[in-house]
Structures are given as structure tokens and as C-alpha cells.
Amino acid sequence: MASSQQKKKPSKSDQNVVPLIKGRRATSYDVARLAGVSQSAVSRCFKPGSSISGKMRERVMKAAKELEYQPNAIARGLITQRSNLVAVLVSGRLNLYYPEVLFKITEELAKAGLQALLFTVESEEDAESVIEQAWQYQVDAVISASHMSQAQYKVLEKRQIPVVFFNRYFSDHPNTVVYCDPSEQVHEVVKQLKTLGHQKAALITGPEDNMVSRERSRMLTQSLAEFGFDIVHEVRGDFTYESGTSALQDIKQSSSARPTVVMCINDMMAMGCMDEARFVLGWSVPEDLSIVSFDGIGMSQFASYELTTIRQPIGRMSEAAVRMITERVERPEQSHEKRVFEGAVIPGGSIARAPA
Amino acid sequence: MASSQQKKKPSKSDQNVVPLIKGRRATSYDVARLAGVSQSAVSRCFKPGSSISGKMRERVMKAAKELEYQPNAIARGLITQRSNLVAVLVSGRLNLYYPEVLFKITEELAKAGLQALLFTVESEEDAESVIEQAWQYQVDAVISASHMSQAQYKVLEKRQIPVVFFNRYFSDHPNTVVYCDPSEQVHEVVKQLKTLGHQKAALITGPEDNMVSRERSRMLTQSLAEFGFDIVHEVRGDFTYESGTSALQDIKQSSSARPTVVMCINDMMAMGCMDEARFVLGWSVPEDLSIVSFDGIGMSQFASYELTTIRQPIGRMSEAAVRMITERVERPEQSHEKRVFEGAVIPGGSIARAPA
DNA sequence: TTGATATTTGCATTCGAATGCAAAAATGCT
DNA sequence: AGCATTTTTGCATTCGAATGCAAATATCAA
């Protein structure tokens, strides 16, 4: 006992008199030694707003530069309990909406000094393990644009990890959300279709468990009813191009009357649908069949498609998502917020007067 | 002095008798206390291959489960000097090649127990700051599919951070690379075009400083010369759809003879080019104009385009990239390797017999 | 049962930066 | 100059998991 008390307790600063072997990363101690100051001084130099004198800062910075020192974000994260990492959950499926969202969010995060940790999630089972992964990495927050069950959300909530949902939310549980509400535009588009003499519509929706799909379908159904449309067919797809093509096959095969307009829950399926119509079924779009959709991703406006679609303001939504994330990280106790953006109709050339 | 020696030096295990306040994350100490074992035991339970007895593992795991304990990857990274983070550098521009690569790589990294830290890089200036960021986050490695200068690469090399280049490399400096060499396929395609009676070709290339563009142009030029083609025009684009459209405008405006085939350095520009031909200039593709390109991204095969293109085996390349990364992380001293994959011609419908 | 190994376990220390506190230095005021 | 006040600086500790080493325990052989 006594003996252990005896032996000189080595202090941190003694230890680090390692002569900076080739290849070893310089630490704040190395910089401190070179500059002839304490490690704390070095630390303070790299933390804006710390009390430090001009000439000390200068000396430290010179030494830091010489050693190519950059603070170790891992060590910092350990002590500050902030990793500056944000998990971004998107789907990796071939729906080009996700890359657009992902890149915009990443950009905004970078502006806020945060790093995107990318996770692709195709199902709620995936989400399960992704959440554990993110938790291990001590992410400061999660932005979810993909699958997540309410139970999974509650786990994150209990662990006090702020979550922002991107264009999805739980209606029976408070949560922080950026959302695009296209109901106005749906109304507008359906009205226009009516004016163009359309009467029979088909719907290509998404999986039943998907909120975006449910909401959009609901709005469509409602507006179509309001204007006295017949919904002659309704098919479920999975948001991909391929599912758009096969959905139109389904519609064609069905015994019911042929629709004059197909309303797709997203652009990818609309593109599949359009290609199937033009190149397989030999229907002209928009002369024989009008197509409308949602999202307004970049390629929906390529000349081959020029979809009439309801755009989400992805840029502003990403900006808002990151702002909300940082706010929640600063003040976790503050109340939840749901920021709703309007959609916008991109006119496009995929609709026309109904065929006779 | 003496007094400071006197006061009981608090040991780690004493300290952590904090009663796990609501919301505080459980640590290995909490688990240890609950299970009645030492912290080391807990740590060992979560490290595969450690010497631990069956019943101890069981007790620890039970406690861990109860507290929802997951090891803190940040703390682990600090001590093991391995963050398990890999920086993935891609371009965020609207070139859908990148999202495909990104998602594939992320998937492969996940399989290897690694996490993708996403960085978008549009220029070498961007790369500069991205490299510093990545260095701060102690990434174990970098996969670069975007801009990086040789000087920047050397910085990473000096810092002993393994780098794998994805479909790009420096020829005058040893580096680790996965690369797709399409020269065979270029030859094949050009030969076929010759057979189809083509004689006048136009090239749409990329920026001069871009290696992929330079290589592909070189191959094209060479093969075209070999088969006695005239290169009637050559325009630089920037890999985007839009630059494809304006490139074709340039070609049309030019005084030289009209080409019967346009060879694009990537799919996005080819799509722009095709759309411009069909919808603006009113040329039929492939009847009036054949188009070939490179990459073979998903959407190049959508029915509206069906490009004849030289595909990169992105899946296998990503797999290889991640394998090489993990190897280099394990054995940094091992020599550099360049894995070259063959391309593959996707026949498509964008080429036909040359017009008379 | 004893002693010799082999296996488990715990102790104490380590990674690198941040920070509360007290000591030291600089500044201001009379 | 002398004292009070403010600003800088350094010390020592902390975050949470991993690990070398020694102590403890289990396993085996005779």
C-alpha cells in the first residue's frame, strides 16, 4: 500500500517526452513542448473564444504549423461529449431523390461544422442495426430520410439523440420534422387535368407502410374525388424505375377502363411509366396518356421526360433540417417543431388534353 | 507537496459510482458494477477473441443488455488508434455515377465493419480542406473518387493515411488504385462503328486536367485513327447532362462536316447529347446520329436512352477498393497495388448504320 | 493431495484534448 | 510605488475503453 504511494506518480507531461518518432502524429503535448508552453495553452488556441494572449497564440500556431498539428477530433469528442458527427439515413435504392437529398444535407452539415456519417437503410431491420452503429459512434444527431419505426425512434429519444425526420414523420408522437406538403399543388394539378378534359385516372403508389406514399395517395384520391374523377386502377410500386414500368403493364392488363392520366407517387416510377408507355406499349405521352408525379428530381426535367411534377424544395428543406438539428443539439429540452414547406408545380410536358 | 501526496488518490473505479443519472449513457464501468466484475472484463466481452470464460461473458452481456450498453467507438478509437472511419471523397455534381459508387462503397465498408465519412469535393481547393477535416477525424483511410492533386496525396502519404484511388491514379507516383481499363472495349466499339459505315466522329470530352477524361480521349483518338476515322470536332464538357446538350450545339454550329457518331466520355453527357439531338435539333438517334459513351450507370439503360456504353463493374471495383483499404490499414508497409478491371460493352440502341 | 500449468480476472495505466481552479502576470487606479 | 482588479497561464483531472502485467483461479497429472 505505502509503497504504491511512494513511487513517483508519473505526470502526463513527463510521459510525453517521446521524441516524436517518424510517423507518429503530433499531439497537443508535442506542440506545447516545441512552443515552450503548457498543453492547456495549445488546447485553448484551437478553441475559439478562449482566454489567450496574442503572442501566445502566435507562438503556438507557429509550432502547430511546423508539426502539422490538428486537434484530434476523437479525443475532443471524448471529453466534450460531442462528436460533431451526424448520422444521415437514406435509402440506397435506385431512387435518385436520395442522392440529391444526401448531397444537399452533407453540404449544409459541413457549413455548420458537422460531418455526415452515411448509412443506407432499406428496411426497418436495417434501421435497427444502423441505430446501434450510430449510437456506438456517439453521433450528436440523426437525420432520417428513410425507414424508421416508431419503436426505433423511441429508442433514440430515450437515449436523448435528437432526430430530424426528412419528409416523413409520426403523427401520433411528437417529433422534429421538415416536411413538404404538396396538397395545394395536388389540388392545382388535378384541377388542371380536369380542365384538360381528363376523367379516368390511375394511381401508382408506394408500399403501404410508407408514409410519404400514404399521404400523397390520400391527397390524390381526395382531389380526384373532389373533381369527380374515376380512379380506374391503383398499383403499388416501390419507388424505382422498374416498378414504374411494371405498374403500367398492370394497368394495361387490367380489365377496367383505360386511364387518360397516370399519377405517380414519385418521379422515378413516373419515368419508368413513361418509358413503358412510349417504348413498350406504343402510347404517346402526353397525347395518349398524361403523367404527373412528385419530387422534381433533377433528371425528371431531362428533355426525354420533362415531367409535370410537384417539386420539393430540397435545398431549403436540407438547410432547415440542419438548422433544426443544431438547435436541438444545443437545447435538447426545447419543444419539437415541424417545418412545413410548400411544393411547387413544375409544368413540364407530360400532360396534355385528354384523348377523345 | 506532502499534503498532496496524502490525500487519497481517487481511483477510477471509485469515481464512477455515479448512480447512472437518467439520460447518462451507460459506460463499461456501469456494466461492470451491475455485473459485479471489473471494467476490463466488460471490455474483453466486447472484443472478439479475448480470453474470457463463458459464465462471465453471460453475466456481462446480461448487464449490458439491461443498461443498453454499447461500447463507445470514440473512446475505443482513442486508445486503439483506429477510428474505423473511412473518408469517401466523391463529387456532388449532378453526375449520377458518383451516387452509385458512393452507395456501393458504403455498403462494402459496412460489411468490413467500417463507416463511411462522406465528403463532397468539387475541386482541388475543396480537397485541401477535406483532407484536413479527415485528418482531424482520424480516418483510417481515404477512398478518393474525386479531385486530388499529387501534392495533396503526398500529404496523406506522409501522414501515413492509406489512400485508394477509385478509377483515377497518378502514373508517376506509386499509389493504390482500382481502375477500369476500357481500351479493349473502345477498340471493339470503334470497330463496330466502322463496320456500320461510320467515318466521321465527334468527341465530347471532359476537363483537360481530368485523368479519366484524358485517358478515355486518348483511347478513343487512337482507336479512331486506327480505323481511319475523321475526328471532325472535339468539345470539352464537365461530365454533366447540361454540358452534353451544349456540346452538341457546339458541334452543330461548327463549320466542319457533320459527324455520324458522337463519342462521349461519360453517360451523363451522352444523355444530354441525345436529348439535344432528338428534341432540339430534331435529329433521330441512332438513325441520324449514333452515340456511345462510358460508365454504364443505371439510368443510361432507361428505355428513353438505352445507351451503347462501356460499363465499369462498379460493384466489383468497390469490393476491391474496400479490400485493398483494409489490407493497407493492416499492413501499411506493403507495396502498392493497381487492380485493373475490364470494361464491358452494353450494346444498347444508340448506334446504328451510318446515314447515307 | 500436491504441485505444475493453463486460463481468467483485475489493477493500473494509457490514448489526446478540454476545463475548473488557483497561481501568476498584466493592467488600471490612486 | 502600492494595491486592487482583470486577464493569462499552468496544473491536475476527466472523458471511456483497451491492454500489459501480475494475481487469482481453474485444470490437469501424478
pLDDT tens digits, one per residue of A18-31? 444 456 789 999 99
Residue A6 has what pLDDT?
A: 32
pLDDT band at A50 (very low <50, low <70, confident <90, very high): confident
Q: What rounded mean pLDDT belongs to chain B?
A: 90
Q: Enumerate the residues of chain A whose CB falls inside 8 A of the CB of residue B103.
A: 92, 120
Mean pLDDT of all residues in A50-76? 89
Residue A53 has what pLDDT?
A: 80
Residue B23 has what pLDDT?
A: 60
Q: How far apart are alpha carbons B30 and B69 in whole angstroms? A: 9
Q: Give the three-state DSSP class for B203.
A: strand
Which residue of B72, B302, B314, B350 to mutate against A (max A Cβ within 10 Å)? B302
Q: Cβ distance A247 to A235 under 8 Å?
A: yes
Query: pLDDT digits over B288-339, tens only?
Result: 999 999 999 999 999 999 999 999 999 999 999 999 999 999 888 888 999 9
Q: What rounded mean pLDDT belongs to chain A?
A: 90
Q: How far apart are alpha carbons A296 and A185 in whole angstroms? A: 13
Question: Looking at CA atoms only, how far is residue A189 from chain B in angstroms?
Answer: 25
Taking the CA of residue B39 and the C1' sugar atom of nucleotide C13, their distance in angstroms comes to: 13
Residue A339 has what pLDDT?
A: 95
Query: pLDDT digits over A172-185, tens only?
Result: 888 999 999 999 99
Q: Give the DSSP per-residue string, B39-80.
A: HHHHHHHTSTT----HHHHHHHHHHHHHHT----HHHHHHHH
Residue B11 has what pLDDT?
A: 39
The pTM assigned to this predicted structure is 0.91
Query: pLDDT digits over A263-289, tens only?
Result: 999 999 999 999 999 999 999 989 999
- List, chain by chain, residues whose CB lies under 7 Å from nucleic acid strand D: A 11-13, 37-41, 44, 51-53, 55-56, 75, 78-79, 81; B 4, 9-10, 12, 15-16, 24-25, 27-29, 39-40, 43-44, 46-47, 69, 71-72, 75-76, 78-80
Residue B97 has what pLDDT?
A: 94
Residue B164 has what pLDDT?
A: 96
The residues, any chain, with a CB within 8 Å of residue B201's CB and separated by 6 or more, are: B193, B224, B229, B230, B231, B232, B259, B260, B261, B262, B263
Question: Prior bond to A71 cis, omega within 30?
Answer: no
* A298 closest CB neighbour out of B73, B94, B303: B94
Question: Within chain B, which residues score under 70 in pLDDT?
Answer: 1-23
Q: Enumerate the residues of chain B whose CB falls inside 8 A of the CB of residue A280.
A: 303
| Nucleotide of closest approach to A40 (CA, C1') | D10
Query: pLDDT digits over A227-242, tens only?
Result: 999 999 999 999 999 9
Helices (H), A196-240: 211-226
Q: How far apart are alpha carbons B137 and A78 in whole angstroms? A: 12
Q: Is A127 exposed, middle or buried (0-12, 13-18, 19+ CB in 10 A)?
A: buried
Residue A17 has pLDDT above 90, yes or no: no
Query: pLDDT digits over B2-20, tens only?
Result: 333 333 334 333 333 444 4
pLDDT band at A248 (very low <50, low <70, confident <90, very high): very high
Mean pLDDT of all residues in A319-340? 92
Residue B57 has what pLDDT?
A: 87
